[in-house]
Amino acid sequence: MKFTMLPTVWDETVAELEAAGHEFVEDLAQARGLVFNAGPEKLPDPVPENIEVIQLPFAGVEPFNDAGLLAADGPRWANGAGLYADTVAESALSLLLAQLHLLKTAVTSASFDSADTIDAHKQWLFEDKTVAIIGAGGIGVRLLELLAPHRVSTIAVNRSGRPVTGADRTVAIDDAAMDEVWATADYFVLIMPLTDQTRHMVNAEVLGKMKSTAVVVNVGRGPLIHTDDLLAALRDGTIAGAALDVTDPEPLPDDHPLWGLDNCLITPHVANTPSMVRALTGQQAVRNFDAFEAGETMPAEVDGKAGY
């Protein structure tokens, strides 16, 4: 299939597609497929009719959804979903463990004097804990594998409620049972995409339902959490801690109060980064374009109506 890449041509992406038998063309009018690596404002408007499929490198497609592009008649869309399962799952476990064992307190105190405080307030994954994975897709399945040897109970939360491999229990996000999930799980890992339904889903009301020992990890999108509500909950002990690789706003300003909280660990969006995206987009495009040509649903096809 003839394809082009806009607005920036990544040589390694082109090379992988060509190695798989696709043909790079400079002229957009000659292409059937498009690999597009910028925001929707840079997209040709309108997208020419000869473009039947567009591959985006990232998993998060909300700017394209907000621009009304995904639901429109026109090309089919694929994203980077599933591509970052390994790295994001590893980062999620790393953040969870680091927060449970109060690494930030250890780093900021820089003293063995903090030993008693840490011993008194730290938590252990091995002590029969329940982990809820909110937005359990490909990353969630991988995270469940990494969690299995820790013998935790696991709850997968997804859109459909269809049982997730490796989870002890699966709950649909709009099920009434979610009240009980928020109230009984010890730890929450947020991985779902950002949509109108999920924006600010972890707000003061939800935080208020959680145990005071709860820890929230966000490796999905910053706006899944209402930042000011989280700040208040961490300050007044409504929950025990949070660990964030994504924030709202992002980048989090250097003078933001979250940086100063010992019970809020923050890494600067390093679970999947531009360098990883660039290295992995080619193989993702190959999988999707091959399925597209075969007349199948693409492995990472975006559901235009759902917005991801």
Partner 1 sequence: MKFTMYPGVWDNVVAEVEEAGHEFVSDLHQAEFLIYAGGRLPDPLPESVGFVQFVFSGIDRLLDAGVIRPGVRWANAAGVYGRPVAEIALTLLLSQLHHVKAATLASSFSARGPIDAAQGWLIDGGTVAIIGAGGIADALIPMLRPFGVKVIAVNRSGRPVEGADETYPQSEAGHVWEEADAFILAAPLTEETSGMVDAGVLARMKRSAVVVNVGRGELIVTDDLVAALRDGEIAGAAMDVTDPEPLPDGHPLWRLPNCTITPHIAATGRIAQQMVAPQVIANAAAFEAGERMPTEVDITLGY
Please identify every residue annotated as catalytic. 221, 250, 269
3-state SS class at 151:
coil
Please state at what angle helix 11-19 crosses helix 274-293, rounded to 10 degrees: 30
List 12, 48, 68, 124, residue binding partner 1 (CB under 8 A): 124
Single out the residue of 267, 293, 299, 301 in contact with partner 1 (rule: CB under 8 A).
267
Which DSSP helix (H) or strand (E) runs through 287? helix 274-293
Burial class of residue 154 in the structure, from the number of CB atoms within 10 Å of its CB (0-12 exposed, 13-18 middle, 19+ buried): buried
Q: What are the distances in angstroms from CA 141 to CA 80, 148, 306?
A: 16, 11, 21
204 binds partner 1 (CB under 8 A): no
Conformational region of residue 123, where left means phi above 0, alpha means psi within -120 to 50, and beta covers everything else: beta
Binding status of residue 83 toward partner 1 by CB under 8 A: no
132 makes contact with partner 1 (CB under 8 A): no
Query: Is 191 one of the binding residues for partner 1 (CB under 8 A)?
Result: no
Q: Measured from the CB atom, is 48 or 253 closer to partner 1?
A: 253
107 binds partner 1 (CB under 8 A): yes
Contact between 146 and partner 1 per CB under 8 A:
yes
Residue from 60, 37, 40 nearest 219 by CA: 60
Shortest Å distance, C-beta 140 to partner 1:
14
Please state the closest distance from residue 136 (CB atom) to partner 1, in A.
Answer: 16
Report whether the peptide linkage leading into residue 253 is cis, meaning its omega lies within 30 degrees of zero: no
- Chain residues in the site for partner 1 (CB under 8 A): 86-87, 89-91, 93-95, 97-98, 100-101, 103-104, 106-108, 110-115, 118-120, 122, 124-126, 145-146, 148-150, 250-252, 254, 259, 265-270, 273-276
